Structures are given as structure tokens and as C-alpha cells.
């Protein structure tokens, strides 16, 4: 895997820095920055990551806490929570596309197409024509499909915490909130770090949901496809890909630094 990654990265660097047969050259990067969609796509991608990463962490943490303690039927509930990841992203995106199309089920419901639901609108909502709605639905689909992965990682972290620590805290008069703050949260930092790292990378490079559900509002990942297949410019596509790689590496560094400081602060308390 490392070997293939190095080969792909070397090829990407070569294509990105070759312009009109000259290497090295920055023509592809200049062309990239002059694209009308590049800066808007960069802003959308940053917002997608900033909103999507904690959203997936929060959803995974909530589900993990719900199935952490034993109860009747826990195995069935866990299996139900894992179901979204068993459905391919293309299928999930297609379902959301069908639901939110101009004459899809959601518009049909709001237009009063079902006798048991009152009519709330007179014209169909153009979900694909609104940047907030299109990217919001993309983010909803991404969160729904990937939250089982976050749940399983956090659940493994929760189950690694011994009951003796909670019992000792109870003997000292600690309540539920105090136990979560001083025991659960500090010991969950490694699991939370893993979730944030994996989910932020996935959000940076997410392609399928915005490609299907927000084609008019590209992210950097979909802009790469546009530059390569529509503009026929491999150099610009590789330049955007390198920007994406740099952003991912920078995000990893920031997350590691913040989580390290957070864990130190929690342990000191």
C-alpha cells in the first residue's frame, strides 16, 4: 500500500508541475487559482469538514453510549445501528436523490400528495438549486452512512474502561456528569482522536454524495473530476489533488496538537 501511494504521489507531482512540456513549472497551479469555482469549492470543502467531522463524532458517541450498557435486545439494536455502513454510498446517495428530487417523495408529501398529511407548499422545493440544502443533504447522507464506524471505535474505547474506576468514583460521591468528565472523556481521547482523524480525512475527500446531490456546488474532490474529465486538464486536476493532500496533512497536525493539549488538561483536573 505504501509503495502504491508513493507511486501515485510521484506521478501526481510530476503531472501537476509539468506545464506545456516544461518541468518544473507552476502553470497548472496558476490555472487552478484562476478557475471561477476553485475558491468557492475550497470554502465549501472547509465548511463541509468543519461541520461534518464533529457531527459524525457526536452521532457515533451518542449511538455508542446508547448501546454501551447491557439491556435486553442490545445485539439487535447494535446490528440495526451498523446497517447503514452495509449499504454502499452510491445506493444511499441514489435514495436521497430520489427522495429530494422535484417530484420526489418529500416534495410529494409537502405538496399534499398523501391524504394523511396536510399540504404545506404550493410549488416543489428545488433542493438541488440551493447550496445550503444540497450540501446539507450531502452531509446528512455522509453522516448517516459513516456513523456506525464512529460508533464502533468509540464503543471499543468505552468497553476498555474498567468498572472499578466508576465504582471508586461512586464511593467518593461522584455523579454521572462527574464520572463522564473525569473518567470517561479522558480515557476516550484515543478513540475520539481516531474518529476525528478518520472522519476528517473522509470529509476532505468525500466525492459520491456531493457529486450526486450537489453537482452545482462542487467541493474540491468533485472539482478534480471536473478539471480532469470536463476541462481535459490533468495538470489542474493533480494540482487540486495536491492542495487537498496538504489540507489533510495540516488538519491531522492540528487535530493531534489540540487533542494532546485536551488530554493533558483533563488529566490535570
Average pLDDT, the chain: 88
Q: What pLDDT, on a 0 to 100 scale, did the predictor assign at position 25?
A: 87
Domain boundaries, the chain: 2-268
Closest CA to 235 of 2, 21, 37: 21
Contacts of 212 (CB under 8 A, 6+ apart): 90, 93, 94, 96, 97, 138
Helix pair 234-268, 38-66: axis angle to 10 deg? 40
Spell out the alpha helix ranges (H) of 17-130. 27-33, 38-66, 74-86, 89-99, 105-110
| CATH topology (fold) of 2-268 | MetI-like fold (1.10.3720)
Place of cell 445485539: 75
Residue 132 has pLDDT above 80, yes or no: yes
The average pLDDT across 57-67 equals 90
Q: What pLDDT, on a 0 to 100 scale, did the predictor assign at position 267?
A: 67
Looking at 5-9, 45-49, 122-126, which range is the least confident one?
Answer: 122-126
Place of cell 487540486: 240
Cis omega before residue 240 (within 30°)?
Answer: no
How does residue 268 score in pLDDT terms, banded at 50, 70 and 90?
Answer: low
How does residue 176 score in pLDDT terms, banded at 50, 70 and 90?
Answer: confident
Residue 161 has pLDDT above 60, yes or no: yes
* Contact status, residue 53 vs residue 200, Cβ threshold 8 Å: yes
Closest CA to 257 of 249, 246, 267, 269: 249
Distance in angstroms between the alpha carbons of the first and the last residue of the chain = 42
Helix (H, G, I), strand (E, B) or coil at 19: strand
Provide the whole-model pTM.
0.88
Residue 210 has pLDDT above 90, yes or no: yes
Cα–Cα dist 260/195, whole Å: 15
| Total residue length of the chain | 269
Contacts of 16 (CB under 8 A, 6+ apart): 28, 29, 235, 238, 239, 241, 242
Cis omega before residue 247 (within 30°)?
Answer: no
Looking at 33-42, 116-125, 233-242, which range is the least confident one?
Answer: 116-125
Amino acid at each position: 500500500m505504501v509503495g502504491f501511494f508513493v507511486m501515485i504521489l510521484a506521478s501526481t507531482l510530476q503531472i501537476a508541475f509539468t506545464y506545456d512540456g516544461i518541468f518544473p513549472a507552476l502553470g497548472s497551479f496558476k490555472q487552478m487559482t484562476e478557475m471561477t469555482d476553485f475558491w468557492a469549492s475550497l470554502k465549501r470543502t472547509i465548511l463541509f469538514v468543519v461541520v461534518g467531522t464533529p457531527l459524525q463524532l457526536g452521532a457515533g458517541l451518542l449511538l455508542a453510549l446508547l448501546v454501551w450498557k447491557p439491556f435486553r435486545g442490545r445485539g439487535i439494536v447494535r446490528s440495526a445501528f451498523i446497517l447503514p455502513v452495509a449499504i454502499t454510498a452510491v445506493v444511499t446517495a441514489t435514495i436521497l436523490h430520489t427522495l429530494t428530487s422535484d417530484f420526489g417523495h418529500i416534495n410529494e408529501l409537502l405538496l399534499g400528495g398523501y391524504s394523511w398529511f396536510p399540504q404545506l407548499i404550493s410549488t416543489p422545493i428545488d433542493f438541488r438549486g440551493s447550496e445550503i440544502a444540497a450540501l446539507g443533504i450531502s452531509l446528512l447522507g455522509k453522516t448517516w452512512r459513516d456513523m456506525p464506524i464512529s460508533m464502533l471505535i468509540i464503543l471499543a474505547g468505552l468497553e476498555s474502561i474498567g468498572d472499578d474506576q466508576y465504582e471508586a468514583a461512586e464511593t467518593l460521591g461522584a455523579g454521572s456528569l462527574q464520572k463522564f468528565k473525569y473518567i470517561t472523556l479522558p480515557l476516550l481521547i484515543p478513540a475520539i482522536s481516531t474518529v476525528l482523524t478518520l472522519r476528517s480525512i473522509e470529509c476532505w475527500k468525500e466525492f459520491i454524495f456531493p457529486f450526486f446531490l450537489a453537482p452545482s456546488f462542487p467541493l474540491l474532490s468533485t472539482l478534480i473530476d471536473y478539471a480532469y474529465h470536463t476541462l481535459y486538464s490533468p495538470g489542474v486536476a493533480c494540482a487540486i489533488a495536491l492542495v487537498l493532500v496538504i489540507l489533510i496533512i495540516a488538519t491531522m497536525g492540528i487535530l493531534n496538537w489540540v487533542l494532546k493539549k485536551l488530554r493533558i488538561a483533563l488529566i490535570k483536573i
